[in-house]
Amino acid sequence: MSSTYFDAASAFPLHPAASQALAAALADGWADPSKLYSASRRARQLLDASREAVAAVVGARPDEINFTANGTQAAHAAVLGGLRGRARAGDVLVHSAIEHSAVLHAAEAHERDGGRAVPVGVDRAGRVDAGAFAEAVSAPGVALAALISASHEAGTVQPVGAVAEMCAEAGVPLFVDAAQSATWPGGVPSGWSLLSLSARKWGGPPGVGVLGVRRGTRWESPWPSDANETGAPGAVNLPSVVAAAASLRAAAGEAAELAERLRSLTALVREQVPLLVPDVEVVGDPDERLPHLVTFSCLYVDGEAILSALDREGFAVSSGSSCTSSTLRPSHVLEAMGVLSHGNVRLSLHRGVTAGDVDRFLRVLPGIVARLREESGVTGL
Active site residue ranges: 323
Count CA within 13 A, CB hemisphere, residue 160.
27
Count CA within 13 A, CB hemisphere, residue 209.
22
Instruction: For residue 182, give the nearest of 168, 165, 200 by alpha carbon.
Output: 200
DSSP code, position 189: P
For the beta sheet containing 174-177, the strands, ordered from the edge strand earlier in sequence to the opposite edge, are 65-68, 209-213, 194-198, 174-177, 142-146, 92-96, 116-120
> What CA–CA distance (Å, rounded) separates 252 from 1?
32
pTM: 0.94
Domains and CATH numbers, the chain: 4-12+255-375 (3.90.1150.10), 16-253 (3.40.640.10)
Q: At what angle do helices 255-276 and 238-253 cross, to 10 degrees?
A: 80
What is the reported pLDDT for 235?
A: 83
Cα distances (Å, whole numbers) of residue 328 to 331, 332, 369? 9, 12, 19
Instruction: For residue 50, give the nearest of 185, 256, 230, 254 by alpha carbon.
Output: 230
Q: What is the enclosing helix (H) or strand (E) of 298?
A: strand 293-298
What is the reported pLDDT for 330?
A: 73
DSSP code, position 145: E
The pLDDT profile of the chain, 381 residues, written as one tens digit per residue, is: 458 999 999 999 999 999 999 999 998 888 889 899 999 999 999 999 999 999 999 999 999 999 999 999 999 999 999 999 999 999 999 999 999 999 999 999 999 999 999 999 999 999 999 999 999 999 999 999 999 999 889 999 999 999 999 999 999 999 999 999 999 998 898 999 999 999 999 999 999 999 999 999 999 999 887 666 666 788 889 999 999 999 999 999 999 999 999 999 999 999 999 999 999 999 999 999 999 999 999 999 988 899 999 999 999 999 764 444 445 567 899 999 999 888 899 999 999 999 999 999 999 999 999 999 999 887 766
Strand, helix or coil for residue 5: strand
